[in-house]
Structure 1
Amino acid sequence: MRRRLFLLACSAMLLGAAPPPAGITVFAAASLTDALGALGRAYTQATGVPVRFSFASSSQVARQINGGARADLFVSADSAWMDEVQRAGRVQPGTRATLLRGRLVLVAARGTATRLAIRPGFPLAQALGARGRLAVGDPAFVPAGRYAQAALTRLGVWPSVAGRLARAENVRVALAYVARGEAPLGIVYGSDAKVERGVRVVGVFPAASHPPIVYPAALVKGAAPQAAGFLRFLQGAHAQAAFARFGFLPAR
């Protein structure tokens, strides 16, 4: 992975002459922590431009941006929170684009024996046991939780587990609940499961069971000029290949 990121950094130099180095601040969904962190370091190594990140649920970072927080680039885990920022007039016109897509998966702690086939009416509540809870991002405001609720509703399972949720402030917290054994099962993105050694994937939710999982990105109004170069870098073939290694799907 280090060699790949070094080559990726070298490729960033081919983006063209860079302006004088200045910091870029990226507000992004928590599920992007590992991938964007690695790409940010590669970009800085290649260009000398520092890239700083603020990771949280898409709802939290969207509200911070709308509240006036200083940010250059916003990457959301769904379209709804990007729409909120755009309606508030905080998105730089003409810069919004879908950066990535994702999968929704059911996970259990590594070493456990739970087996479930994800299909209509599957016995999720029974698999939780008498007192177990299902770890999810809070469906009230976390995109991963919204996708989870949509999928379980489509599959006819939601009523049996709606009162048994371990509601997390973002998807990475939900992932941690399962990895630490605090919840027997959880619903997260496939990319989250890929970077957490303490969990295993029990099953993948059918794409048709929930709205498409998309990651829109856009420059924030008033962004530093260097931010446009970083966004182009993230959209390029080398960065997209790195995202794939972290478990994301291409935008198309």
Structure 2
Amino acid sequence: MEQFAKIFRMQLKYMLGSFEFWLSLLLTSICLVIAAIELSLNVFGSDFGAIPDAGVGFLLNSDPLVLQAPHVLVYFFIFIIGTIPFGDIFIRHLKSQNSNHILLRMSLKNYAFASACVAFIGGFVVIGLPLLVMQGLMFIVLPITSEPYSFPIHMLGGLQDGIGGLGDLFGYSHYIAPYALNLLYILYDAIWAGIGAVFAFSCSFYLKKSRLIIIGLPMMLSIVSFLFGGSSYTLPLYLYPSVYYGPLYFEFFLLSPVIVLIVAMVFMYVGIHKKDVLL
């Protein structure tokens, strides 16, 4: 346990000081700034009573707000950005010949599990922190409350008829507790980004030739679900308050990250016991 804690602290310090970590934060922030500009253009010139409040103005609420940048983030970039900070660290160590130096002081098992924990933290932070900060900024630039039928609210009205994935998952929570729902989506997306990084890290024990392949690999989770899952099991539809697609299932929302994490941990456990893992 002492060895695990030592390598964890070392890896965490390395990640927080790395160019890749700050680049990932910047990329997420750029996507959200573009979304904020889109929102500003959409409400420009509107009466004050037609401006959405900070809860509805949550930038992942891209369907009723008619924003494209959040769609690009959740469909294409969330797993890539989440993997960049640390998901490819094993390949970086191999190419820099640092892995042997590290492993001389501790077991490969401790190295792998500590690195997986740091990879998860990296993915979680670079997605979750900018989303949380942007939600906080919405309290400054948007009203705290709005009229019942302000700009985008009527587009959520279809949920009263049972239409839309958001209604399938959380019923009327977008009316009752919008800020709690926003925080839930921030947490959920951050968890998925972290799990994607762990998945990439576990695969790096098998695919050791290219960092780009490892960084892009978690996006296959979205691609496969899109190709074979239909509208009910397409993963990106669960990463934002989807209004127009469905039905969506709470069981998939809850169990899919757990299953992917278990698969990643199995991959990693098998990978660290390969005879040629350091070659």
- TM-score of the superposed pair, with normalisation by structure 2: 0.21
**Which has more strand, going by share of residues?**
1
User: Which structure has the larger Rg?
Assistant: 2
TM-score between the two structures when normalised by the length of structure 1:
0.23
